[in-house]
A and B are shown apart, each in its own frame.
Chain A
Amino acid sequence: MTPEERPQPGPQHHRIPWPDFRSLARGAGGESSIRLLLSGERSRRLLMLWALNRELRRRGPLLGPLPPVDKAWDVFANIDAKVPEAMTAVLMSPQFGIWLSRALRLLRGNAASPAPQWAELGYVHAAAFAAAVRAGLDLQTHIPVLNGRAMVPTLGMVNLPAHRAWDVAEAVTSSEEGSSVRLDDMVVKLPSDPALAAPSWWPHRHVTVRAGEFVLRVVLDDLDPYRDLADPVPPARLSDVEASSWSDTIGKAWELLGRICPESAAAMSVGLTSIAPLPADDLNQNRSASTGDGFGAAMITPAADPVTLAVGLVHEFQHIKLGGLLHLVPILHAPANSVLVYAPWRDDPRPLSGLLQGVYAFLGIAGFWQRFRWDADDAEREAAEFEFAYARRQARIGIRSLLGSPFLTHLGRKFINELSAAVNTLQTHRVSTAAARAAWALATDHESTWRIRHIHPDDDAVGRLTGSLLAGAVAATARTITYVVASGGEDHWYHGRLALHRIGLYSPHRLRSIARGSSTMHSGWGVTRADLALATNDTPRAEAGYRAMLTTDPGNIHAWSGLVVAAAANKSTTAWRTLIRRPELVRAVYLKARQRGATISPIGVAEWLDRLPGIRTQPAWS
């Protein structure tokens, strides 16, 4: 057998050493683990680029007035051979990943664009031009212009006349003439250092901050059309003052992370490469986002303070890590996407895959607050205690559905066991009584409300139970009550109690003032007197208030969940556990009994159900 005849070895696949897998599964993952994820992302991007090239060549003139895709491919291959770091900078940028994913979805009919396809797909030529500028290699090509803006990925944006919504500009770079972009009679010259501003040239702003040995280098991306979750967005150029404020807050947040979460800082210094500012909303809520398509990018609203930004970065980096791992190994079988469950941070039912992301994120968030509470000053400590107690409780509630899921893969089972161990470790830390109580109350409140809204017990079974109740009998049937989980119940979900608890922790004097009636809350929170009593720990008064509300408005979900929390806090009934575990069933039987003209209290129904031996509820599909 000659060497040529010997069977060639099969392709090598990415491998994950067990210590890295376990570390990532526990919510951590150091520098080496992040490099491992990055190497997977590189292979993935190359595969996607290969697929895009093949598809564009196969389909012919999809690039319209732009050069054929072969030209960009040849540029990439040439630069990769001669100046590989220039190609890597473009290939591995999160925005290139987001664009690649969208381009493939467009080609596969799984996305739509208001622009002609060539205008979006032509980003491939803009990327080739950017790589050539970075590499210092000569190139003459054409790139798309959207509303007078031509993106040069990873470098900046050219401002041109906007005669048409979509246009084509000539882009040239040469060692002798430098780099320029021309549309009609206007020529924009890029500065020799593209990081510098120039007429009609917006350079990407880079932020480099240090915390001891840890250095974070990120693009503050307000330009790239593919800096958002998927669809292209217009530039939202920050003023110099705004950019400076971002830089300052990132620096302070990074200093905090480097001091209290050095392992996270080490990982982020390798894997976090882009921060895209999101516009603030009317309520000044903190919002953040990320996508598996753009490994390394976080989108985030301007933070009121460095602590808020730090926890936002921790949150999104958890998603980034898990997204990278899920690109390498499946944790859940595909049907998990269609199973809806409770997620303690969401008002709507979530698929198991979303729950997994949330638990992973909240493990990181809880870990941050766990450490921050020892770093906080006296004024912040109690609030940090609460944030820790609440986040770890949410993670603990969330992991329940994952541990019991039949949709875990073999590796997924190992992953969830490790994740669960990490969640359990968080529960061993002591917190203040006030923080623990507030976390319990809010978590119980949220889950009760969610169950009442989204779990619908089988109506026939509820009818039979109600009949037995009214006959004074112990039910002979319907010990197992099936239910369905459904979205809906979209009427406004009041978060007034959550807001009150947070006000009490962050600003106790304000809560006292609201309770006295000397200051008010916005009516949009829907806060009642019973809520105020609950937030100020006058739980007997709160319970009485909710009972009174249900007398006149028996279906009031807000009053039902308030009653669950107050009655459980008071232990005013032996059936408080039934109220917590099955508030939707108690409410359904109560409402049915009222329909049939019975006079009974919600607590009376709960106590009757509590006396039924062996009653259980289960989803209809199990």
Chain B
Amino acid sequence: MEVPEPTIETGLIDLVDVSISVLASYDTDVLRPSLSTVLAQVDRPRKNIGTGPPGRVD
């Protein structure tokens, strides 16, 4: 029998229910780990460009 896989915990802090005014009061240390990951992603943007036919590009 297939063993169900557990839910995946990501490294991104969940701010969905946090209002912007409350966000302003957040301790930097709480946000820093997620922000560090996000800024690394921002610094290496992913662009997808496709053409075709005859060739497609990604």
Contact = CB atoms under 8 A, between A and B. Distances in A.
Given A76-B20, A285-B52, A358 B45 contact: no
A346 interface: yes
Interface string A17-53: 1100110000000000000000110111011111101
Contacts of A337: 44
A291 interface: yes
Contacts of A230: 45, 47
A499 B30 CA distance: 56
A326 B46 CA distance: 10
Contact of A12 (B13, B38, B52): B13
B41 to A, nearest CB: 6
Interface stretch (A315-323, A526-534, A607-615): A315-323
Contacts of A436: none
A502 B58 contact: no
A21 B19 contact: no
A42 B21 contact: no
A44 B19 contact: no
Given A80-B20, A316-B48, A345 B10 contact: no
Given A73-B24, A345-B56, A42 B15 contact: yes
B13 A47 contact: yes
A105 interface: yes
A420 interface: no
A292 interface: yes
Size bracket, chain A contacts? 35 or more
A288 interface: yes
Contact of B19 (A40, A77, A287): A77
A411 B53 CA distance: 34
A492 interface: no
Contacts of A229: 45, 47, 49
Interface in B23-55: 23-24, 26, 28, 30-31, 34-35, 38-39, 41-55
B46 A292 contact: yes
A285 B24 CA distance: 47
Nearest to B13: A11
A254 B4 CA distance: 36
Interface in A258-304: 285-293
Contacts of B50: 286-289, 312, 315-316, 361
Contact of A46 (B5, B18, B28, B47): B18
Contacts of B23: 46, 50
Contacts of A13: 9-14, 34
A43 B19 contact: no
Nearest to A53: B24
B9 to A, nearest CB: 6
B43 A357 contact: no
Given A43-B14, A327-B41, A357 B46 contact: yes
B16 interface: yes
B34 to A, nearest CB: 6
Contact of B12 (A328, A357, A495): A328
Nearest to B58: A358
Given A11-B30, A357-B58, A87 B6 contact: no
A498 interface: yes
Given A12-B14, A285-B52, A357-B58, A108 B20 contact: no
B16 to A, nearest CB: 5
A105 B21 contact: no
A495 B57 CA distance: 14
A16 B58 contact: no
A319 B48 contact: yes
Contacts of B15: 42-43, 46-47
A323 B46 contact: yes
B14 A105 contact: no
Interface in A325-373: 326-329, 337, 343, 345-347, 353-354, 357-358, 361-362, 365
Contacts of A16: 7-8, 10
Contact of B8 (A21, A53, A110, A289): A21
A346 B48 contact: no
Given A14-B10, A18-B6, A345-B58, A361 B39 contact: no
Smallest CB-CB A-B distances: 4 pairs = A358-B58, A18-B5, A292-B46, A77-B21
Interface of A: 11-18, 21-22, 39-40, 42-44, 46-51, 53-54, 73, 76-77, 80-81, 87, 101, 104-105, 108, 110, 229-230, 285-293, 312, 315-316, 319, 323, 326-329, 337, 343, 345-347, 353-354, 357-358, 361-362, 365, 411, 414, 495, 498-499, 502
Interface of B: 4-16, 18-21, 23-24, 26, 28, 30-31, 34-35, 38-39, 41-58
27 contacts: A11-B14, A13-B11, A13-B34, A14-B13, A15-B7, A18-B5, A47-B31, A50-B24, A50-B35, A80-B21, A230-B45, A286-B51, A287-B51, A289-B49, A291-B45, A293-B45, A316-B48, A326-B41, A326-B46, A328-B12, A337-B44, A345-B56, A354-B58, A362-B58, A495-B54, A499-B53, A502-B54
